[in-house]
Amino acid sequence: MNKPLLIQALVKVSAGVLLMGALLFAPAGTMDYPEGWRFMAILFVPMIIAGFVMLAKCPDLLAKRLNMKEKLGEQKQVIAASLVMFIAGFIACSLSYRFGFLLLPGWVSWAACALFLAAYALYALVLRENAFLSRTIEIQENQHVVDTGLYAIVRHPMYSATILLFLAMPLILRSIAGFVIFLLYPAIIIKRIRGEEAFLKENLSGYDAYMRKVRWRLIPFIW
């Protein structure tokens, strides 16, 4: 087992748990926030399981997923916008719970959990299909265009999955205000995709032909 990679992963997950806990429970003013605990469980348990699977079977992919140092200036702005949206959205969800305003019915939270897990499964399929997936936009050694599986349907299935994940999050927390804030995420992703495709078209052999072959970026027959 790659112990340095394991330690790196555990440190990042622990930091994520602490940050998410702070964003959820501090604004809520209480630890008695059932939807908050539900969300923490549905977010981190599959993440930890997936992390151990990648550590055992494809540690190189795990290392790429842990790397978040974006090199392209425009993409750094996209990451910053995502972070601001993320923080504002979760604070809004917690305040909704604290003050009891703009809350959705309880069944919505459970339905959103099912959507979240389905999106997680979709995300796992994408990871399985593309060994070059990274959190940053770059060209890796021996990288080639992946055009099989979900990549034969849309060019960016990973982003399709993350949009479902992010839109499900405030619904799990039953917050209309949070959901409105998270609606900014598709616009942020569209900006990232435009920059990513321009970079790949210029730097990855065969990507231009792939763009002509697979027309849709995120949703078949829509965009």
What pLDDT score does 67 carry? 65
pTM of the full predicted structure?
0.86
* Digit-coded pLDDT (tens) for 2-28: 777 778 778 888 888 999 999 999 999
Residue of 84 and 57 predicted with greater confidence: 84
Residue of 41 and 13 predicted with greater confidence: 41
What pLDDT score does 129 carry? 79
Record: fold of 3-213? Four Helix Bundle (Hemerythrin (Met), subunit A) (1.20.120)
Say if CB 136 and CB 68 are below 8 A apart: yes
Helix (H, G, I), strand (E, B) or coil at 144: coil
Percent of the chain with pLDDT over 70: 88
Is pLDDT of 98 > 90? yes
* Digit-coded pLDDT (tens) for 156-208: 999 999 999 999 999 999 999 999 999 999 999 998 898 888 888 888 888 88
Contacts 24+ apart (CB under 8 A), 158-161: 158/123, 158/126, 158/127, 158/130, 158/133, 159/189, 159/192, 159/193, 159/218, 160/122, 160/218, 160/219, 161/119, 161/120, 161/122, 161/123, 161/126
What pLDDT score does 136 carry? 60
What pLDDT score does 64 carry? 66
* Digit-coded pLDDT (tens) for 64-84: 666 666 565 567 778 888 899
What pLDDT score does 164 carry? 94
Say if CB 129 and CB 150 are below 8 A apart: yes
What pLDDT score does 39 carry? 96
Helix (H, G, I), strand (E, B) or coil at 175: strand
DSSP for residue 152 = G
